[in-house]
Amino acid sequence: MMEIQLAFTDYTKLMDFFTSLGVTRAFMKELSENDNAKQQIYLGGSFEALNKIPYGSVRIGNLEGKQNFKAPLDLFWVSDDAETAPAPHAQLILYPKYPEVRLSGFLRECAIAPSTHLQPIPKSRRKGKDGRLLIFGVTSRNRIYIFLAPNNSPVANSLKKDGFLDEDKHELFVALPMVFHTNTKEILLAKLSGIIRSGWRQSCKLDTKGGIKVYKARNGGGYTLEALLGVIPNGVSEPDILGWEIKAFSRDRITLMTPEPDKGFYGEYGVKEFVRKYGHDAGDDTLYFTGSYKVNTKYDKLELKISGFNSSKRIISNPGGGIYLQTATGDIAAMWSFEKLLEKWGRKHAQAAYIKYLISSEPGIPEYYYQSPVWMGEGTDFILFLSALEEGNIIYDPASKIMNANSSKSKVKARSQFRIPFKKVNALYRDFNAYPII
């Protein structure tokens, strides 16, 4: 019988192969006997796994009559002999009532998937961790490669020998070193340090081709910082640079995200009809929809509410719920569904850097001075966002308007903002620390 030639005689060879595939970060999870094709693979008792594993559009699904969230993955298996093949049905399933995340569909229609090592074991025989290791490699284009190292295999033994299976460590995911691994936090801090030390900078913005141009409006603090970092504004729901979202602010209240409602009157008829119905006349043929809405606090004709979130248990009790504006008669004026908000928050805010700036008082083109320290938040969770909203720390602060409202050439600007006082930002992250720039 021909002996199979293993391509990976230890984990460093696997990391080398990952690097050749474009992988920029790698991590592993120790599997237990209940991590299998039937019970799925457990990825944590919160939604924090979404910070590490890139995913597609979130949708509501059903499993055994119960609603949950599902998100597809661009996932490929890596075999022992260094072949790769897609797992076209791989997805994350988010069970909101626990809460927890599991990997599902990872064997179906993938010929090289290690199905032998992922078969279910009767509950009476399960003892916990069994020596199998699932190793993830993620590329800059959000493709995921995974490799299963069985117990006592060369890759598993080498990881154990080098201390990656230290029982004193309680992380669900253990980071693995890459040949060309870069510490994105250190790189970003170095870039921001140079900007902070350089003093006052003239307001500017990058165009779509990366060319720098003067920006004369006095709301350019964020644009200028992004331009100095080489970030081209694109409106895409992805982090700004090196996997980090950049938040420049000059006042206490910070804009977290600006998602447009996808349901209710707004979702059905759009921003223009919404502003015409619920906005106010600001003069000069302009209609505005503004305010400062906190959950369960009435403002004018509308009230901001959350449906399907149990704040005492800190779980989503109904995946079909969301955040909504309701009229006194019970009509839904606007609603942000959980699946859309979950997708946007998890993708964009896993890591964020907050930098305060001053704006010059002199007339003419504004100048900005970015201040130390840089505040960096890591390890967020959509439940933390909902809790902060429920507690009144996050405010819905819209600024949508229709210009030339009574003209056939009217123009509309949509601006739905969720904002938070800076002193409350730490509640959105597991870790939130200041990094002084000397």
* Four-way CATH pick for 184-435: 3.40.50.1860, 3.10.129.10, 3.30.300.30, 3.30.70.3570: 3.30.70.3570
pLDDT in tens, 209-245: 889 999 999 999 999 999 999 988 766 556 678 889 9
Predicted pLDDT at 64 = 64
Q: How many CA atoms lie within 13 A of 220 on its CB side?
A: 21
Lowest mean pLDDT among 119-133, 191-205, 346-360, 368-382: 119-133
Among 329, 321, 276, 326, CA closest to 297: 326
pLDDT in tens, 84-128: 999 999 999 999 888 899 999 999 999 999 999 999 877 767 677
d(CA 348, CA 139): 17
pLDDT at 1 over 50: no
Predicted pLDDT at 343 = 85
74: its two tokens = 């661009």
Please say whether the beta carbons of 110 and 121 come within 8 A: no
Among 180, 194, 186, CA closest to 243: 186
d(CA 183, CA 161): 24
Q: What average pLDDT does range 137-166 have in this prediction?
A: 92
The helix/strand/coil state of 437 is coil
d(CA 45, CA 381): 11
Predicted pLDDT at 79 = 95
Enter the pTM of the model: 0.87
Phi/psi for 419 (5° steps) reads -130, 160
Predicted pLDDT at 165 = 85
Q: What is the DSSP letter of 43?
A: -
Please report which confidence band the pLDDT of residue 424 belongs to, taking 50, 70 and 90 as the band edges.
Answer: very high
- CB atoms under 10 Å from CB of 327, counted, come to 14
Q: What Å distances lie between residue 88 and 25, 75, 135, 180, 422, CA to CA?
A: 22, 7, 18, 29, 42
pLDDT in tens, 331-344: 999 999 999 998 88
Q: What is the identity of the amino acid at 432?
A: F
Among 241, 398, 371, CA closest to 304: 398
Predicted pLDDT at 237 = 57
Rg (CA), the chain: 25
What is the assigned CATH class of domain 11-176?
mainly beta
Q: What average pLDDT does range 408-432 have in this prediction?
A: 94
Q: What average pLDDT does range 263-291 have in this prediction?
A: 94
Residues 6 or more apart whose Cβ sits within 8 Å of residue 404? 285, 286, 410, 411
Regarding predicted confidence, which is higher, 63 or 358?
Answer: 358
Kindly state the greatest CA–CA separation across the chain: 86
% of the chain with per-residue pLDDT over 90: 71
- CB atoms under 10 Å from CB of 1, counted, come to 3
**Domain ranges within the chain, ordered by starting residue:** 11-176, 184-435
DSSP 292-322: -B-BT-EETTEEEEEESEETTTTEES-TT-E
Q: Whole-number mean pLDDT of the chain?
A: 90
Lowest mean pLDDT among 188-197, 237-246, 284-293: 237-246
Please report which confidence band the pLDDT of residue 2 belongs to, taking 50, 70 and 90 as the band edges.
Answer: very low
pLDDT at 59 over 80: yes
- CB atoms under 10 Å from CB of 409, counted, come to 6
Q: b vs e for 346-385, b when ≥16 Cβ sit within 10 Å of the residue's Cβ? A: bbbbbbbbbbbbebeeeeeebbbbbeebbbbbebbbbbbb
d(CA 198, CA 91): 46
168: its two tokens = 């004193």
